[in-house]
Structure 1
Amino acid sequence: MNNASSMSADVVSLCAYAKINIHLKVLAKRKDGFHNLESIFQRISIADYLSLEKSSDSRSCTVESPLMPLPVGNTLTEAWKAFCNVSDVDTGVRVRLIKNLPAGSGLGAGSSDAAALLKAANELFAMPLSDSELTTLALQVGSDVPFFLKSSAGIVTGRGEVFEPIRARTDCFGILIWPDVQSSTKEAYELLDNQKEALSHECEAWGYEKLAAQYMAPFKTWRFVNDFQPVLEQRYPVIGRVRKELYEQGAAFAQMSGSGSAVFGLFSSESLMASAFQVLAKRWSWCKPFLLLA
């Protein structure tokens, strides 16, 4: 999982790193109601922090999240329930979550948290499940949860469960801005589906070879897209304004991540990023520098 972690007999602590979507095509709707996707996922250095310890309560999961209240039913409790259903654990767990990533941002925060819990639980209980079994459980929680059990960069297809790794690039510096807009994945799909019906055409996949070649090309030549971006920028113009400002401050590539609303900009040097960050951090309350993780 490429997470910094520490483990004792009864406690596991690790990072739940965010991801950005460098490319995201939404393809045909499937018979099961999900859409097929084609995306490049890249893990970044901004993370939530999770600590898991055993409790005496039988198979319960108590979550403490002091920085951001969570609903009773959340990805952590869902992941724990899935873990219990296929393992023979007879104790409960207590989770302490330091939540740095905003909800409704397109950064995969809830999915990364769920994957972190699955891995932490597997370590805490002496690894009763194989990697393939954990991946199956991850998919029960959410389509993109399996990615966070794998490497730092890859091409994701299917409904999110098919993953092909690519060599992660680390030759740039990023700025991530969340414009304080809660973007619902359900809303984003509805907006996109309505637009596709109006245009009456089906988006074509790029394919692994084209994606991998483009990924390794210079950032300024990237032609990656996010199918959600146009409809979300129309609904929330502030998203487009963030992207414009990132380009104005020297980003080589800037795009919305996932179904929104966070926007990232990639810069060719640390000095360019630092200069841009000085300006942008004064304009946007949630503005953070980041690195691409290898």
Structure 2
Amino acid sequence: MRRNLDMLTVKAFAKINLALDVLYKRPDGYHEVAMVMQAVSLADTIILTSHPGDIVLNVNIPGLPDDASNLAYRAAALIKEYAGIQQGVLITLDKRIPLAAGLAGGSADAAAVLKGLNNLWELNLSLDKLSKLAAKLGSDVPFCLYNGTMLATGRGELLSPLPPLPKCYVILAKPAVEVPTAWVYQEFKADRVQVRPDIAAMSKFLEQGSIDGVAGNLANVLESVTIPAHPEIAKIKESMLKYGAMAALMSGSGPTVFGLAGCQKQAEVIASQLKTEGIPEVFVAETVSKVE
């Protein structure tokens, strides 16, 4: 986070799910989940500039909403109202995280705006208070405030820190499909799941610093919904493994697939091979193991 008088620049990091389990549907309509979430270095950049009027959002992607339907705008409106701030803010969003990708790009932007405006407006709100505000915006937003490696429960907003994933490189590949998260959860049927995550084992391997153990225990029950509808996701997983990834998994509700690699050179080779298969969006990132 960089501040210069009335302007501040914040990074909004993407996330992947090392483990994702759906336990049951709650009376409030949400699903109870247990997830091991990991921040990665693929990030949007947000510049916040003091503005005499109201909230103004500029985006770099045509068609991306620049009004109250954008989580970044809603985050600014929420903290502005909560703190009773009269001034406005110009939000400039340079988006690199793919849209509708299962990487929490919108949630990351919202979290970055909350953190940034807390600093720019000198509100001195604690991270815990910001997290409560973040939960009003979406289930992934609280995690995106903290980054690192976390166990998320409830509907995803209840967080417990886990030992950091040993530094490794992450290949991200998004096919040219969009998958609505609400549809995936609506279609989820527990009896279709073949492999459920072992959260206790994942936590143990993180504590041991075993990247091999983590790689061997990746699991996401939402693959049981998204992959039958979009078989190209399974093909990307197969390709990643064929080209040398330690493991591969769909992130969140999809459709992005991530693979783990021990070194940057190997990750870049895998990414290059995937691009030759015509996958439109392929990135190489590394794990983010500390609060930024």
- Please say if 1:189 is aligned against 2:185: yes
Match of 2:89 in 1: 93
Q: Letter of the aligned partner of 1:286 in structure 2?
A: E
Deviations 1:169-214 (A, max 9, x none): 233222110112111001111121xx33xx399x98845x433114
- Please say if 1:211 is aligned against 2:206: no
Q: Which runs of 4+ in 1 moved over 3 A?
A: 203-207, 214-218
Distance 1:205 1:281, change over 3 A: closer
Distance 1:179 1:30, change over 3 A: same
Deviations 1:210-246 (A, max 9, x none): 3311444343662231011122010011111111100
Query: TM-score, length-normalised on structure 1?
Result: 0.90
Alignment root-mean-square deviation, CA: 1.9
- Please say if 1:240 is aligned against 2:234: yes
Match of 2:24 in 1: 28
In the aligned structure 2, how far is the partner of 1:205 from the partner of 1:183? 22
Report SS of the residue matched to 1:291.
Answer: strand
- Please say if 1:124 is aligned against 2:131: no
- Please say if 1:166 is aligned against 2:162: yes
2:137 corresponds, among 121, 138, 141, to 141
Q: Is the 8 A contact 1:214 1:222 kept in 2?
A: no
Q: Is the 8 A contact 2:48 2:117 kept in 1?
A: yes
Distance 1:169 1:218, change over 3 A: closer
Distance 1:274 1:128, change over 3 A: closer
Report SS of the residue matched to 2:136.
Answer: helix
Unmatched tracts of structure 2, length 5 or more: none
Query: TM-score, length-normalised on structure 2?
Result: 0.91
In the aligned structure 1, how far is the partner of 2:167 from the partner of 2:128? 31
Match of 1:279 in 2: 273
In the aligned structure 2, how far is the partner of 1:200 from the partner of 1:242? 21
| Offset at residue 278 of structure 1 (A) | 2.4
In the aligned structure 2, how far is the partner of 1:223 from the partner of 1:90? 49
Report SS of the residue matched to 1:14.
Answer: strand
Match of 2:285 in 1: 290
Match of 2:15 in 1: 19
| Offset at residue 144 of structure 1 (A) | 1.1
Distance 1:289 1:80, change over 3 A: same
Match of 1:110 in 2: 106
Q: Letter of the aligned partner of 2:86 in structure 1?
A: D
Report SS of the residue matched to 1:50.
Answer: strand
What's the % identity of the aligned pairs?
A: 29
Unmatched tracts of structure 1, length 5 or more: none
Q: Is the 8 A contact 1:14 1:49 kept in 2?
A: yes
| Offset at residue 41 of structure 1 (A) | 0.7
